[in-house]
Amino acid sequence: MTVDASAHLAAELIRDEPYYRPVGDEIDLFAAAYAGRLPVMLKGPTGCGKTRFVEHMAWRLKRPLVTVAAHEDLTAADLAGRFLLAPEGTVWHDGPLTAAVRLGAICYLDEIVEARQDTTVVIHPLTDARRALPLDKKGELVPAHPDFQLTISYNPGYQSAVKDLKESTKQRFVAIEFDYPEPAIEAEIVMREAGVAAALAGGLVDVGLRSRNLRGDGLAEGASTRMLIHAAKLVRGGAPLDAALRSAILLPITDEPDLREALAAAIAASL
């Protein structure tokens, strides 16, 4: 039996500083959590900077980053690894989580709540005093490298009775709260990320605020910072503003014509 090393290539050492505009004490909090090797949960709506923050922290802490986007078909074997048939016989392939555990990487499980609960429990032994990953199929207990750390993201807005983290999973993490930044900071981010002028960025942030006010009235989420950046990039690329808003915000955010109309009216009022 051999161990395939290709999964280790999935770990990325980030060489150039990923731009991250801090909004509070999140950098110091994460650094303190990492110093104690505590598992961290980044809690907040979609597109508000959680992934960018982890990339920035991995760069700051000089640790490789392994990112896994969770989805409902993600199995424990997708995370931990599996035997695969090869010409020379059965070969064990480490999954991305196992690769991160062996290597001492930061493992980021994005949108963990999308995964089934029987998948989520594989992280439990890594998040308590055991700090080890049992590979049942292989009969191996992989002790975590001293530098290994686990971070997950969690969007409380999606919470439903069927899709939620088990209480026993939640309580293993220290949480850092994320939200869309205050307007001046969000405009700074849109300017920087899309390379647009302050006036356009400010106008788009206003659109974002108005859309977020419609949350609850049928709209699950308002326009995220990511969406505002998309709109700004379309304008920078030559699209007229109304077409950019339609393509980057109105169409992706809802399939409901009535709701789209309400949002379009709210947007028109802010321009």
Subset of residues 118 to 177 that bind ligand ADP, contact rule: CB under 6 A:
none
Residue 92: helix, strand or coil by DSSP?
A: strand
Q: Is 187 in the site for ligand ADP (CB under 6 A)?
A: no
CA of residue 100 relative to chain centroid, distance: 17
- Minimum CB separation of residue 117 from ligand ADP in Å reads 22
Which C-beta is closer to ligand ADP: that of 46 or that of 270?
A: 46
- Minimum CB separation of residue 152 from ligand ADP in Å reads 11
Q: Is 49 in the site for ligand ADP (CB under 6 A)?
A: yes
Distances (CA, A) of 186 to 4, 48, 179: 44, 9, 11
Q: Hey, what are 85's tokens?
A: 């048939």
Among 66, 165, 223, 229, contact with ligand ADP (rule: CB under 6 A)? 229
CA of residue 166 relative to chain centroid, distance: 19
Q: Is 43 in the site for ligand ADP (CB under 6 A)?
A: no
Q: Is 208 in the site for ligand ADP (CB under 6 A)?
A: no
Which C-beta is closer to ligand ADP: that of 172 or that of 230?
A: 230
Burial label, 9 (beta-carbon count in 10 A; 0-12, 13-18, 19+): exposed
**Choices 89-97, 135-143, 201-209, 223-231 (CB under 6 A): range interacting with ligand ADP:** 223-231
- Minimum CB separation of residue 146 from ligand ADP in Å reads 27
Q: Please tell me the count of residues contacting ligand ADP according to CB under 6 A.
A: 16
Reference 79, options 92, 103, 102, 97; nearest CA is 97
Tokens 């961290």 sit at which residue? 40
Q: Is 67 in the site for ligand ADP (CB under 6 A)?
A: no
- Rounded Cα distance between 41 and 33, Å, is 11
**Choices 15-23, 62-70, 74-82, 211-219 (CB under 6 A): range interacting with ligand ADP:** 15-23
**Which residue has its beta carbon closest to ligand ADP?**
49
3-state SS record for 12-68:
ECCCCCCCCCCCCCHHHHHHHHHHCCCCEEEECCCCCCHHHHHHHHHHHCCCCEEEE
Q: Is 21 in the site for ligand ADP (CB under 6 A)?
A: yes
Among 189, 205, 219, 245, contact with ligand ADP (rule: CB under 6 A)? 189
Q: Hey, what are 109's tokens?
A: 């499980």
Q: Which residues bind ligand ADP (CB under 6 A)?
A: 19-21, 23, 46-52, 189, 193, 225-226, 229
